[in-house]
Amino acid sequence: MVKLSLRLMANTDDNILKKVIAHAKEYGFVFPSSEIYDGLAAAYDYGQNGVELKNNIKEYWWKFMTRSHDNIVGIDASIFMHPTTWKASGHVDAFNDPLIDNKDSKKRYRADVLIEDAVAKIEDKIKKEVDKAAKRFGETFDAEMYLTTNPRVVEYQKKIDDINTRMKDAIEKPDLEALRQLIIDLEIADPISGSRNWTDVRQFNLMFSTELGSVAGDASKIYLRPETAQGIFVNFLNVQKTGRMKIPFGIAQIGKAFRNEIIARQFIFRMREFEQMEMQFFVKPGEEMKWYEFWKEKRMKWHKALGLGEENYRFHDHLNLAHYANAACDIQFNFPMGFKELEGIHSRTDFDLKSHEEFSGKKLQYFDTEENKSYIPYVVETSIGLDRMFLAVLSSAYTEEKLEDGSERTVLKIPAALAPNKVAILPLIKKDGLPEKSMEIMNDLKLDFNCYYEDKDTIGKRYRRMDAIGTPFCVTVDHQTMEDNTVTLRDRDTMQQERVSISSLKNRLADSCSLSALIKKIE
Ligand code: GAP
């Protein structure tokens, strides 16, 4: 069988993202929000297949974090929190993006993102030089040596370092004029109009606010939470005391977060309403770097166990540490738009608990019985965007294949444990008792596995539809089934079919689609 994956067939990455968006809509994964009113920018609805995939991703995360780790428990805090929470967390004063407008296109950009894109272009140049040299020198090629000695590469790297230093300085101060000057010096042009006619850089707070109750005014102003983490911090002692938790321990949470993002493009990658899966791990002060390394490794293993391609992940250390962190990195994924942040791992020190203690006047300390003293724990956080994880799975699963007979198929090679439907039950024809037999099989399976029943169109067309929504198995019920209780079981990825007994189906599906088995592999 000749197969060509989409990444080979398609000419641009932009093309791939467009295809993924169109496919997600056509097959009930993701719809634009309130589409009948022409949609709402950066808000999306998950359809009948999307919600199943999303729930499976959540379960994969939740089971791994809370069941594989005896010292991690979950909570579900409210979205609205006392407004002082956001003063204490630093979000009222410091949760800002530096914005710049292009005077010709009237488009608005994040100044730091424009600069990071310019850096990414130079990084690409380095990669090209390395790839060229690797080809030229073959097995004797020493990439590390080449990176430190080749004059052109060294020059590119120096340029990157200079830009990063200037950006870090400007953001930390903050010096908005210096940030603008960097954009001018790098000759960054508007990606749409090509113009370099930029406004000044301004700060813009990303929190959405609304009013509590019927009284307007500052006193009733509350915010939609921009991260789920603060719900964990304010409940730290509640959970520690009621759960008799001993340090080190973690609190996990999945929930909605809201940010008034300025550049909300790239589909569900950057939304104004999105979901986070966060875990705060409370540790003894001084031990935070050990746990930071521990969680970096654990989280990377969780990602790689899915089999989306080891080469599609990398760590990216933060140059500009947030006000609360003493170390931070991203796990980046190779999205259709290139390597971008999928998950953040942050060593948040005791910043949050200390600050809540100051603002609330309540003690938020842990009494360590081994050391016989109280202290404010340090925190290592893992924070992943559920919607970004969804996009990572969907975009890497999307495959267009040319088959040997010249036909083409589009298949979502979603890891079986995450697939929205595990099995489709298909009667070969719509008579002779085959539909009834199919329903019997479905009724036996459907409480354990999400099943799909379909009896319209030819079997070939039905297989293609199941490929398009990523169903790992198709069970076909034919006349032989009526005689010997066997069915054909078709594998989505290989398209191979085998004859199996109906009684073996449960075990076959459990072996291939089990989240628990996937999680067990991670250790
Ligand atoms: N509590 C720490 C925190 O919120 P963050 O890096 O701002 O850290 C964590 O966000 C994760 O949330 C990101 O790695 C990303 O996956 C996701 N995320 C952030 N903003 C998002 C947005 N506008 N749309 C979708 N996902 C987003």
Which among 470, 299, 269, 272 has a CA at the least distance from the CA of 389? 269
User: Is 174 inside a domain boundary?
Assistant: yes
Tell me the CATH number at 517.
3.40.50.800
Tell me the CATH number at 264.
3.30.930.10
Rg (CA), the chain: 26
Q: How far is the C-alpha of 259 from the C-alpha of 249, rounded, in Å? A: 29
CA of 246 to the centre of ligand 1 (A): 29
Q: Check whether residue 371 and residue 306 sit in a common domain.
A: yes
- Cβ burial of 128 (10 Å; 0-12, 13-18, 19+) is exposed
Which among 265, 253, 275, 225 has a CA at the least distance from the CA of 388? 275
User: Is 216 inside a domain boundary?
Assistant: no
Q: Check whether residue 249 and residue 354 sit in a common domain.
A: yes
pLDDT at 157: 94
Parent domain of 322:
1-83+224-410
Which residues neighbour 425 within 8 Å (Cβ) at sequence distance 6 or greater?
438, 439, 441, 442, 445, 451, 452, 453, 454, 475, 477
Q: Check whether residue 453 and residue 507 sit in a common domain.
A: yes
Q: Check whether residue 128 and residue 54 sit in a common domain.
A: no
Where is 91: in which H helix or E strand? helix 91-94
Q: How far is the C-alpha of 445 from the C-alpha of 428, rounded, in Å? A: 19
* Closest residue by CA, ligand 1 atom 2: 383
Q: Which two tokens stand for residue 332?
A: 């980046």
The finding on whether 278 has its CB within 6 A of some atom of ligand 1 is yes
pLDDT at 1: 36
Q: Check whether residue 63 and residue 196 sit in a common domain.
A: no
Q: Check whether residue 438 and residue 488 sit in a common domain.
A: yes
Q: Check whether residue 358 and residue 473 sit in a common domain.
A: no
Q: Check whether residue 306 and residue 406 sit in a common domain.
A: yes
Tens digit of pLDDT per residue, the chain (523 long)?
333 344 434 335 678 999 999 999 999 999 999 999 999 999 999 999 999 999 999 999 999 999 999 999 999 999 999 999 999 999 999 898 899 999 999 998 999 989 999 999 999 999 899 999 999 988 888 988 899 999 999 999 999 999 999 998 998 888 999 999 999 999 999 988 899 999 999 999 999 999 887 666 666 889 999 999 999 999 999 999 999 999 999 999 999 999 999 877 789 999 999 999 999 999 999 999 999 999 999 999 999 999 999 999 999 998 778 778 899 999 999 999 999 999 999 999 999 999 999 999 999 999 999 999 999 999 999 999 999 999 999 999 999 999 988 999 999 999 999 999 999 999 999 999 999 999 999 999 999 999 999 999 999 999 999 999 999 999 999 999 999 999 999 999 999 999 999 999 999 999 999 999 999 999 7
Q: Check whether residue 309 and residue 247 sit in a common domain.
A: yes
SS3 of 437, please? helix
User: Is 72 inside a domain boundary?
Assistant: yes
- Residue that terminates a domain, selected from 393, 410, 427: 410
Q: Check whether residue 395 and residue 253 sit in a common domain.
A: yes
Q: Which two tokens stand for residue 443?
A: 């009724």
- Residue that terminates a domain, selected from 370, 387, 410: 410
The finding on whether 259 has its CB within 6 A of some atom of ligand 1 is yes
- Residue that terminates a domain, selected from 410, 425, 452: 410
**Please, are residues 470 and 450 in contact by the beta-carbon 8 Å criterion?**
no
CA of 272 to the centre of ligand 1 (A): 11
Three-point CA angle 258, 260, 263, nearest 5°: 120
Q: Check whether residue 124 and residue 235 sit in a common domain.
A: no
pTM of structure: 0.87
Q: How far is the C-alpha of 414 from the C-alpha of 420, rounded, in Å? A: 9
CA of 267 to the centre of ligand 1 (A): 15
pLDDT at 219: 67
The finding on whether 342 has its CB within 6 A of some atom of ligand 1 is yes
Q: How far is CA 423 from the centre of its chain?
A: 26
User: Is 89 inside a domain boundary?
Assistant: no
